[in-house]
Amino acid sequence: MEDIEIYHLAGQVLGDLTHDLSDGIYAQLGGELSIKWRAEKIFGAFASSLGESDKPPKHSITVYYEFVRQVWRDAEDFCKFLRGIPEGSGVDKLYDFYDDRVKLPTCFNDEEHVKNMFVAAITWVYFHEIGHLMQEHGVIRDEFEPSDGGAKQTNDVHDFEASQAKLIVGREALVSHVTELAADFEATNFNVIELLRHVRDSDFVDDEARTEVFSGLVYLMVCGLSLVFFRFNGNRPILPTAVVEGSHPNPLTRLEIIVPQIFESLDGSMARRVAGYDVDRRQLVLLCAKAAFSATLYWSMTKPRTTSLTIASCSRTSSPTQSFCNTSSRS
Ligand SMILES: [Zn+2]
Protein backbone atom coordinates (compact mmCIF):
# COMPACT_ATOMS: atom_id res chain seq x y z
CA MET A 1 0.00 0.00 0.00
CA GLU A 2 1.26 3.48 -0.84
CA ASP A 3 1.81 5.98 1.97
CA ILE A 4 -1.04 8.16 0.77
CA GLU A 5 -3.41 5.20 0.98
CA ILE A 6 -2.28 4.53 4.55
CA TYR A 7 -3.03 8.15 5.48
CA HIS A 8 -6.41 7.92 3.82
CA LEU A 9 -7.35 4.73 5.66
CA ALA A 10 -6.19 6.13 9.01
CA GLY A 11 -8.09 9.35 8.37
CA GLN A 12 -11.22 7.39 7.66
CA VAL A 13 -10.96 5.11 10.72
CA LEU A 14 -10.03 7.81 13.24
CA GLY A 15 -12.31 10.40 11.62
CA ASP A 16 -15.30 8.09 12.01
CA LEU A 17 -14.45 7.46 15.65
CA THR A 18 -14.13 11.17 16.32
CA HIS A 19 -17.42 11.86 14.60
CA ASP A 20 -19.22 9.18 16.63
CA LEU A 21 -17.80 10.35 19.95
CA SER A 22 -18.34 14.02 19.17
CA ASP A 23 -21.97 13.45 18.25
CA GLY A 24 -22.45 11.10 21.19
CA ILE A 25 -21.02 11.55 24.66
CA TYR A 26 -19.36 14.90 23.92
CA ALA A 27 -22.57 16.43 22.54
CA GLN A 28 -24.50 15.14 25.57
CA LEU A 29 -22.02 16.92 27.84
CA GLY A 30 -22.14 20.13 25.82
CA GLY A 31 -18.52 19.62 24.82
CA GLU A 32 -16.58 18.91 21.65
CA LEU A 33 -13.89 16.59 20.32
CA SER A 34 -11.74 17.14 17.26
CA ILE A 35 -8.85 15.42 15.51
CA LYS A 36 -5.87 17.12 13.86
CA TRP A 37 -3.06 15.79 11.70
CA ARG A 38 0.55 16.95 11.52
CA ALA A 39 3.26 16.34 8.96
CA GLU A 40 6.43 16.36 11.09
CA LYS A 41 8.40 13.11 10.99
CA ILE A 42 7.40 12.10 14.50
CA PHE A 43 6.14 8.72 15.63
CA GLY A 44 3.47 9.79 18.04
CA ALA A 45 0.24 11.49 18.95
CA PHE A 46 -0.91 13.82 21.66
CA ALA A 47 -4.03 14.86 23.53
CA SER A 48 -5.02 18.46 24.26
CA SER A 49 -7.59 19.61 26.76
CA LEU A 50 -8.47 23.14 25.69
CA GLY A 51 -10.88 24.13 28.44
CA GLU A 52 -11.14 23.97 32.21
CA SER A 53 -11.47 20.55 33.80
CA ASP A 54 -14.76 21.39 35.55
CA LYS A 55 -16.43 22.71 32.38
CA PRO A 56 -17.85 20.78 29.37
CA PRO A 57 -14.88 19.07 27.73
CA LYS A 58 -13.13 20.74 24.79
CA HIS A 59 -10.76 18.03 23.66
CA SER A 60 -8.51 17.54 20.70
CA ILE A 61 -6.35 14.63 19.54
CA THR A 62 -3.40 15.25 17.23
CA VAL A 63 -1.89 12.42 15.20
CA TYR A 64 1.28 12.50 13.12
CA TYR A 65 1.14 11.05 9.62
CA GLU A 66 4.50 9.46 10.29
CA PHE A 67 2.97 7.51 13.15
CA VAL A 68 0.33 5.78 11.04
CA ARG A 69 2.78 5.22 8.19
CA GLN A 70 5.26 3.49 10.50
CA VAL A 71 2.58 1.37 12.18
CA TRP A 72 1.59 0.00 8.78
CA ARG A 73 5.20 -0.62 7.72
CA ASP A 74 5.99 -2.37 11.00
CA ALA A 75 2.96 -4.62 10.57
CA GLU A 76 4.02 -5.45 7.02
CA ASP A 77 7.58 -6.24 8.04
CA PHE A 78 6.41 -8.26 11.03
CA CYS A 79 4.20 -10.49 8.85
CA LYS A 80 7.05 -10.99 6.40
CA PHE A 81 9.31 -12.01 9.29
CA LEU A 82 6.83 -14.56 10.62
CA ARG A 83 6.24 -16.08 7.19
CA GLY A 84 9.99 -16.36 6.73
CA ILE A 85 10.65 -18.51 9.80
CA PRO A 86 11.90 -21.84 8.38
CA GLU A 87 9.65 -24.78 9.10
CA GLY A 88 11.18 -27.10 11.68
CA SER A 89 13.82 -24.57 12.76
CA GLY A 90 14.61 -23.91 16.40
CA VAL A 91 12.56 -20.71 16.35
CA ASP A 92 9.66 -22.56 14.73
CA LYS A 93 9.74 -25.17 17.47
CA LEU A 94 9.42 -22.48 20.14
CA TYR A 95 5.79 -22.23 19.06
CA ASP A 96 5.09 -25.74 20.31
CA PHE A 97 4.63 -24.17 23.72
CA TYR A 98 1.47 -22.55 22.32
CA ASP A 99 0.05 -25.85 21.01
CA ASP A 100 0.62 -25.12 17.32
CA ARG A 101 3.07 -23.40 15.02
CA VAL A 102 0.56 -21.24 13.17
CA LYS A 103 1.96 -17.71 13.29
CA LEU A 104 -0.71 -15.77 11.42
CA PRO A 105 -4.44 -16.57 11.39
CA THR A 106 -5.39 -18.60 8.36
CA CYS A 107 -8.86 -17.05 8.12
CA PHE A 108 -7.32 -13.83 6.76
CA ASN A 109 -5.17 -13.16 3.71
CA ASP A 110 -1.85 -11.29 3.73
CA GLU A 111 -3.34 -7.84 3.30
CA GLU A 112 -5.98 -8.46 5.95
CA HIS A 113 -3.29 -9.47 8.44
CA VAL A 114 -1.63 -6.09 8.05
CA LYS A 115 -4.86 -4.13 7.86
CA ASN A 116 -6.38 -5.65 10.97
CA MET A 117 -3.19 -5.15 12.93
CA PHE A 118 -2.96 -1.57 11.70
CA VAL A 119 -6.54 -0.65 12.52
CA ALA A 120 -6.29 -2.28 15.95
CA ALA A 121 -3.07 -0.45 16.76
CA ILE A 122 -4.01 3.06 15.63
CA THR A 123 -7.43 2.74 17.23
CA TRP A 124 -5.86 1.66 20.49
CA VAL A 125 -3.53 4.67 20.46
CA TYR A 126 -6.48 6.95 19.67
CA PHE A 127 -8.39 5.50 22.64
CA HIS A 128 -5.27 5.88 24.77
CA GLU A 129 -5.37 9.63 24.01
CA ILE A 130 -9.08 9.66 24.83
CA GLY A 131 -8.16 8.02 28.13
CA HIS A 132 -5.72 10.84 28.92
CA LEU A 133 -8.43 13.38 28.12
CA MET A 134 -11.30 11.74 29.96
CA GLN A 135 -9.17 11.50 33.10
CA GLU A 136 -7.68 14.99 32.58
CA HIS A 137 -4.13 13.74 32.97
CA GLY A 138 -2.77 17.10 31.91
CA VAL A 139 -4.22 18.64 35.06
CA ILE A 140 -2.89 15.82 37.24
CA ARG A 141 0.60 16.06 35.78
CA ASP A 142 0.64 19.84 36.21
CA GLU A 143 0.50 19.34 39.94
CA PHE A 144 3.77 17.44 39.89
CA GLU A 145 5.73 18.97 37.02
CA PRO A 146 8.00 22.00 37.37
CA SER A 147 6.15 25.10 36.18
CA ASP A 148 7.64 28.12 34.42
CA GLY A 149 4.96 30.26 36.03
CA GLY A 150 3.34 31.26 32.73
CA ALA A 151 -0.37 30.91 31.99
CA LYS A 152 -1.14 27.71 30.07
CA GLN A 153 -3.53 27.64 27.15
CA THR A 154 -3.94 23.88 27.09
CA ASN A 155 -3.17 20.74 29.03
CA ASP A 156 -1.29 18.52 26.61
CA VAL A 157 -0.24 14.92 27.11
CA HIS A 158 2.25 13.62 24.58
CA ASP A 159 2.93 10.08 23.43
CA PHE A 160 6.09 10.18 21.38
CA GLU A 161 8.77 7.69 20.54
CA ALA A 162 11.32 7.73 23.35
CA SER A 163 13.89 9.59 21.25
CA GLN A 164 11.44 12.51 20.86
CA ALA A 165 10.37 12.69 24.49
CA LYS A 166 12.27 14.46 27.23
CA LEU A 167 13.86 12.23 29.85
CA ILE A 168 12.15 12.78 33.17
CA VAL A 169 12.97 11.19 36.51
CA GLY A 170 11.75 10.94 40.09
CA ARG A 171 8.22 11.83 41.10
CA GLU A 172 7.47 13.39 37.73
CA ALA A 173 8.37 10.11 36.00
CA LEU A 174 6.32 8.14 38.48
CA VAL A 175 3.21 10.26 37.89
CA SER A 176 3.75 10.01 34.16
CA HIS A 177 3.99 6.21 34.27
CA VAL A 178 0.88 5.92 36.42
CA THR A 179 -1.16 8.12 34.10
CA GLU A 180 0.15 6.22 31.06
CA LEU A 181 -0.95 2.92 32.59
CA ALA A 182 -4.35 4.44 33.40
CA ALA A 183 -4.71 5.53 29.76
CA ASP A 184 -3.61 2.05 28.65
CA PHE A 185 -6.41 0.57 30.70
CA GLU A 186 -9.02 2.84 29.11
CA ALA A 187 -7.72 2.15 25.62
CA THR A 188 -7.69 -1.60 26.11
CA ASN A 189 -11.18 -1.54 27.54
CA PHE A 190 -12.49 0.44 24.55
CA ASN A 191 -10.71 -1.87 22.13
CA VAL A 192 -12.19 -4.99 23.67
CA ILE A 193 -15.66 -3.46 23.48
CA GLU A 194 -15.13 -2.57 19.83
CA LEU A 195 -13.93 -6.09 19.10
CA LEU A 196 -17.00 -7.62 20.71
CA ARG A 197 -19.24 -5.20 18.84
CA HIS A 198 -17.82 -6.38 15.53
CA VAL A 199 -17.76 -10.08 16.32
CA ARG A 200 -21.39 -10.15 17.42
CA ASP A 201 -22.50 -8.49 14.15
CA SER A 202 -23.93 -11.18 11.89
CA ASP A 203 -23.31 -8.97 8.86
CA PHE A 204 -19.61 -8.99 9.75
CA VAL A 205 -19.24 -12.68 10.46
CA ASP A 206 -21.67 -15.60 10.44
CA ASP A 207 -22.13 -18.08 13.29
CA GLU A 208 -20.03 -20.76 11.63
CA ALA A 209 -16.96 -18.56 11.22
CA ARG A 210 -17.36 -16.49 14.38
CA THR A 211 -14.94 -18.33 16.68
CA GLU A 212 -12.16 -18.51 14.10
CA VAL A 213 -12.50 -14.86 13.06
CA PHE A 214 -12.70 -13.78 16.69
CA SER A 215 -9.50 -15.68 17.51
CA GLY A 216 -7.74 -14.21 14.50
CA LEU A 217 -8.73 -10.67 15.42
CA VAL A 218 -7.64 -11.09 19.04
CA TYR A 219 -4.28 -12.41 17.90
CA LEU A 220 -3.69 -9.60 15.40
CA MET A 221 -4.80 -6.99 17.91
CA VAL A 222 -2.25 -8.12 20.48
CA CYS A 223 0.44 -8.26 17.80
CA GLY A 224 -0.42 -4.71 16.71
CA LEU A 225 -0.37 -3.29 20.23
CA SER A 226 2.88 -5.04 21.07
CA LEU A 227 4.58 -3.58 18.00
CA VAL A 228 3.39 -0.08 18.91
CA PHE A 229 4.83 -0.44 22.43
CA PHE A 230 8.18 -1.56 21.06
CA ARG A 231 8.26 1.23 18.48
CA PHE A 232 7.37 3.86 21.09
CA ASN A 233 10.22 2.55 23.21
CA GLY A 234 12.67 3.45 20.45
CA ASN A 235 16.26 2.38 21.01
CA ARG A 236 15.91 1.96 24.75
CA PRO A 237 16.40 -1.58 26.10
CA ILE A 238 13.18 -3.54 26.31
CA LEU A 239 14.15 -5.16 29.60
CA PRO A 240 12.42 -3.41 32.52
CA THR A 241 14.62 -1.33 34.81
CA ALA A 242 14.52 -1.19 38.59
CA VAL A 243 14.09 2.58 38.66
CA VAL A 244 11.13 4.43 37.17
CA GLU A 245 12.42 6.90 34.61
CA GLY A 246 11.29 8.44 31.34
CA SER A 247 7.76 9.35 30.38
CA HIS A 248 6.43 5.86 29.59
CA PRO A 249 6.65 2.41 31.16
CA ASN A 250 8.75 -0.25 29.49
CA PRO A 251 6.92 -2.14 26.70
CA LEU A 252 7.08 -5.46 28.53
CA THR A 253 5.66 -3.86 31.65
CA ARG A 254 2.77 -2.47 29.62
CA LEU A 255 2.17 -5.87 28.01
CA GLU A 256 2.28 -7.64 31.35
CA ILE A 257 -0.66 -5.50 32.42
CA ILE A 258 -2.84 -5.20 29.34
CA VAL A 259 -2.51 -8.78 28.08
CA PRO A 260 -4.18 -10.20 31.20
CA GLN A 261 -6.70 -7.37 31.02
CA ILE A 262 -7.61 -8.56 27.54
CA PHE A 263 -7.97 -12.26 28.21
CA GLU A 264 -9.75 -11.68 31.50
CA SER A 265 -12.23 -9.36 29.76
CA LEU A 266 -12.81 -11.84 26.94
CA ASP A 267 -13.16 -14.73 29.36
CA GLY A 268 -15.99 -12.99 31.19
CA SER A 269 -19.48 -14.43 30.98
CA MET A 270 -20.98 -11.19 29.69
CA ALA A 271 -18.48 -10.92 26.82
CA ARG A 272 -19.10 -14.54 25.89
CA ARG A 273 -22.86 -14.08 25.99
CA VAL A 274 -22.72 -10.92 23.88
CA ALA A 275 -20.33 -12.14 21.18
CA GLY A 276 -20.95 -15.89 21.20
CA TYR A 277 -17.46 -17.26 20.56
CA ASP A 278 -16.37 -20.71 21.61
CA VAL A 279 -12.84 -20.34 22.97
CA ASP A 280 -12.03 -21.67 26.41
CA ARG A 281 -9.89 -19.85 28.94
CA ARG A 282 -6.75 -21.83 28.21
CA GLN A 283 -7.04 -21.13 24.49
CA LEU A 284 -7.59 -17.42 25.15
CA VAL A 285 -4.52 -17.18 27.36
CA LEU A 286 -2.34 -19.09 24.89
CA LEU A 287 -3.63 -17.06 21.96
CA CYS A 288 -2.79 -13.75 23.59
CA ALA A 289 0.55 -15.00 24.89
CA LYS A 290 1.52 -16.30 21.46
CA ALA A 291 0.79 -12.94 19.88
CA ALA A 292 2.92 -11.06 22.41
CA PHE A 293 5.61 -13.69 21.96
CA SER A 294 5.60 -13.30 18.17
CA ALA A 295 5.99 -9.53 18.40
CA THR A 296 8.75 -9.78 21.01
CA LEU A 297 10.53 -12.39 18.93
CA TYR A 298 10.35 -10.16 15.87
CA TRP A 299 11.57 -7.07 17.70
CA SER A 300 14.37 -8.90 19.47
CA MET A 301 15.65 -10.58 16.31
CA THR A 302 15.37 -7.63 13.93
CA LYS A 303 16.24 -4.62 16.13
CA PRO A 304 19.67 -5.51 17.48
CA ARG A 305 20.02 -2.45 19.72
CA THR A 306 17.11 -3.35 21.92
CA THR A 307 18.40 -6.51 23.56
CA SER A 308 18.87 -10.15 22.98
CA LEU A 309 15.89 -12.47 23.09
CA THR A 310 13.65 -11.58 25.97
CA ILE A 311 10.89 -13.88 25.00
CA ALA A 312 7.72 -12.21 26.12
CA SER A 313 8.07 -12.47 29.81
CA CYS A 314 4.59 -11.12 29.82
CA SER A 315 2.95 -14.28 30.92
CA ARG A 316 0.33 -14.84 28.32
CA THR A 317 -1.81 -12.29 26.75
CA SER A 318 -2.69 -10.09 23.87
CA SER A 319 -5.54 -8.10 22.60
CA PRO A 320 -7.48 -6.81 19.58
CA THR A 321 -9.36 -3.85 18.25
CA GLN A 322 -11.94 -2.31 16.09
CA SER A 323 -13.03 -1.78 12.50
CA PHE A 324 -11.62 -5.10 11.49
CA CYS A 325 -11.75 -6.22 7.95
CA ASN A 326 -13.35 -9.58 7.72
CA THR A 327 -13.18 -12.24 5.17
CA SER A 328 -16.35 -14.06 5.44
CA SER A 329 -15.22 -15.39 2.13
CA ARG A 330 -13.03 -17.98 3.69
CA SER A 331 -13.52 -21.26 1.96
ZN1 LIG B 1 0.00 8.35 26.88
Distance between Cα 130 and ligand 1 center (Å): 9
Distance between Cα 107 and ligand 1 center (Å): 33
Distant-in-sequence, close-in-space partners of 112: CB < 8 Å, separation ≥ 6? 325, 327
The pTM assigned to this predicted structure is: 0.89
What would the DSSP string read from start to end of 43-103? Answer: SEEEEEE-S-TTSS-EEEEEEEHHHHHHHHHHHHHHHHHHHTSPTTSHHHHHGGGGTS---
Distant-in-sequence, close-in-space partners of 236: CB < 8 Å, separation ≥ 6? 162, 246, 250, 306
The burial class, CB within 10 Å (0-12 / 13-18 / 19+), for 302 is: exposed
**Res 286 pLDDT > 70:** yes
CA distance 176 to 180: 6
Distance between Cα 129 and ligand 1 center (Å): 6
Distance between Cα 85 and ligand 1 center (Å): 34
What number is the average pLDDT over the span 207-222? 95
Distance between Cα 180 and ligand 1 center (Å): 5
The burial class, CB within 10 Å (0-12 / 13-18 / 19+), for 129 is: buried
Count of alpha carbons within 13 angstroms of residue 50, beta-carbon side: 10
34 beta partners:
60
When the pLDDT of each residue in the chain is averaged and rounded to a whole number, the result is: 88
Distance between Cα 62 and ligand 1 center (Å): 12
pLDDT digits (tens, 9 = 90+) for 21-51: 999 999 999 999 999 999 999 999 999 988 8
**Res 55 pLDDT > 90:** no
What number is the average pLDDT over the span 114-137? 95
**Res 61 pLDDT > 80:** yes
- Please provide residue 92's backbone torsions phi and psi, each rounded to the nearest 5 degrees: -60, -40
**Res 230 pLDDT > 90:** yes
Distance between Cα 147 and ligand 1 center (Å): 20
Look at residues 314, 298, 141 and name the one whose alpha carbon lies nearest to residue 227: 298
CA distance 237 to 241: 9
Q: Give pLDDT, residue 323.
A: 46
pLDDT digits (tens, 9 = 90+) for 76-104: 999 999 999 999 999 999 999 998 999 99
Q: Give pLDDT, residue 150.
A: 55
DSSP type of residue 245: B
Distance between Cα 9 and ligand 1 center (Å): 23
